Amino acid sequence: MSTHVTHWIGGRPHPGAADRRGDIHDPATGRVTGTVDLAGPEEAAAAVAAAHAAFPAWRDTSLSRRAAVLFRFRELVHAHSGELARLISAEHGKVVADAAGEVARGLEVVEFACGIPHLLKGGFSENVSSGVDAYSVLQPLGAVAGITPFNFPAMVPMWMFPVAIACGNTFVLKPSEKDPSASVRIAELWAEAGLPDGVFNVLHGDRAAVDALLADDRVRAVSFVGSTPIARRVYAAAAAAGKRVQALGGAKNHMLVLPDADLDLAADAAVSAGFGSAGERCMAVSAVVAVDSVADDLVERIRARVARLRVGPGDDDRSEMGPLVTREHRDRVAGYLDSGVREGAVLAVDGRDHPVPDGAPGGFWLGPSVLDRVTPAMACYRDEIFGPVLGLLRVPGFDAGLELINANPYGNGAAVFTGDGAAARRFRNEVEAGMVGVNVPIPVPMAYYSFGGWKQSLFGDSHVHGTEGVHFYTRTKAVTARWPDPRGAAVDRRAGAVRAGGVDLGFPVNG
């Protein structure tokens, strides 16, 4: 049965007829399973208007009331996590178990945001001057927007909107048009939790919707996750419009394997981090940097594990890896296997030959692939492939491996596998990446820390969720206050609060 997905604006589905629609595909079969409305300037303006109108009342809603709504929302998402996972799998292609894990990690941020009464505590200093107190408060920005990618249609939005809404902002989510259904279901759960109309809105669309959000003066801040070229464009446009902006871009995540590493652990980690969700993760390991003395052994262990992976439809419990999200993306990723060989890499595992026993012929299939003897000059290393292609580079030792990693323009995540604590500590200290793993291949921080990279993996100063997320969605107001003593001016003068003889035109100083 074909589905039709429309926007969620002002607490209900948008009633208007769309001028444009996009197709929704089942990546496992290649068939069109539904359509999604694509917003133009009019729909974007309606979503922002709903958020803007809802802001004053939500800003003034008590912290305990906000927390209560968040707790109810958390319980509803948890209760419907299986349903959300199936929606994600049907439109993205990842296996249901992986989609369920995505929902669970997103819920961690909701749980973090439930502590908003504590997170929004300001500071207070008594008697900073005679009879004068000073304090600071954190206040919300207004209507804010989140622009999120196809690879995590639940988790990445949940990195943003729970904290933004808990802080008193209203939110417009622009998810990927490739897998839009989960975002609308989340909006329905927000409404069921008691969130007032207009506080959370969903706007589907492509570049036209993004450009409309970036141009709207009522949008006070923009959060973005996607490729580096688009992150750079979003950052430039939003900053030029005077908006606060955090734009998380692409990645080339490295895993350095030293000679003293547990090679079985390292091989397991490389396969898990390289091919989970078909490699369509911003934290996927796409470059294994192995010291020469263990490289051949590591490649053979990876090859043996890849041969046992079961590729198939996401709704099949036996499947460990699903298809890619679109036919075009599958073809692009497969093209790096040919270009890698042309440039001198060795195709140790060709995913185009990987069996897909239960895969439909029209599905967007590409099995796990391994390119050995990759060098930094090759396109398969320079580019963010965003698919199930693991490149293995060889280095003579630790120093050469660290230098290679730090020379890469991306700085999202990096990991080291070693049994040497001193080497691990040096790697953690010197590697130029925002998230670091020690014998952990995908070092995604817990919700109370913040997620984000360095260099061309981040445009802006703030990472998402955690305390940086709270700071991003609030602004600090410092207040200096003096109350005249009710016992009269003579007491105030003795306290130094009033200059005897009248007005003082001097610059205020502490005293």
Do residues 217 and 337 share a domain?
A: no
- Residue 357 within a domain: yes
Give the model confidence (pLDDT) of 226-277 as tens digits: 999 999 999 999 999 999 999 999 999 999 999 999 999 999 999 999 999 9
Ranking 210-224, 287-301, 430-444, 486-500 by mean pLDDT, the lowest is 486-500
CATH of the domain at 442: 3.40.309.10
Tell me how far the alpha carbon of residue 262 is from its chain's centroid. 31
What's residue 506's pLDDT? 72
Do residues 160 and 298 share a domain?
A: no
* Tally of structural domains, the chain: 2
Contact 88, 99 (CB under 8 A): yes
Do residues 299 and 427 share a domain?
A: yes
- Residue 2 within a domain: no
- Residue 354 within a domain: yes
CATH of the domain at 180: 3.40.605.10
Do residues 223 and 268 share a domain?
A: no
Close Cβ partners of 444 (under 8 Å, ≥ 6 residues apart) = 105, 283, 435, 451
Global pTM?
0.95
pLDDT average, residue stretch 138-157:
98
- Residue 496 within a domain: no
Contact 94, 313 (CB under 8 A): no
End-to-end, the C-alpha distance of the chain in Å comes to 75
Do residues 224 and 96 share a domain?
A: yes
Q: What is the percent of the chain where pLDDT is above 90? A: 92
Do residues 282 and 366 share a domain?
A: yes
Q: How confident is the model at residue 17 (pLDDT cuts 50, 70, 90)?
A: confident
Do residues 152 and 140 share a domain?
A: yes
- Residue 420 within a domain: yes
Do residues 232 and 272 share a domain?
A: no
Identify the domain boundary among 456, 486, 502.
456
pLDDT average, residue stretch 343-366:
96
- Residue 7 within a domain: no
Do residues 138 and 221 share a domain?
A: yes
Partnered with residue 40 across adjacent β-strands are none
Q: How far apart are CA 285 and CA 279, in angstroms?
A: 8
What's residue 502's pLDDT? 63
Q: Which two tokens stand for residue 86?
A: 């199936």
Q: Known catalytic residue: 282?
A: yes
pLDDT average, residue stretch 155-184:
98
pLDDT at residue 498 tops 60: no
Do residues 149 and 271 share a domain?
A: no
Q: How far apart are CA 306 and CA 310, in angstroms?
A: 9
- Residue 355 within a domain: yes
CB-CB neighbours of 116 under 10 Å: 21
Q: How confident is the model at residue 486 (pLDDT cuts 50, 70, 90)?
A: confident
What's residue 15's pLDDT? 87
Nearest residue to 73 via CA among 171, 191, 154: 191
Do residues 301 and 221 share a domain?
A: no
Contact 62, 31 (CB under 8 A): no
pLDDT at residue 494 tops 60: no
- Residue 508 within a domain: no
Average pLDDT of the chain is 95
Do residues 235 and 290 share a domain?
A: no
Q: In the block, which residue shows the tokens 């030293």?
A: 258
Range of the domain at 196: 38-249+462-474
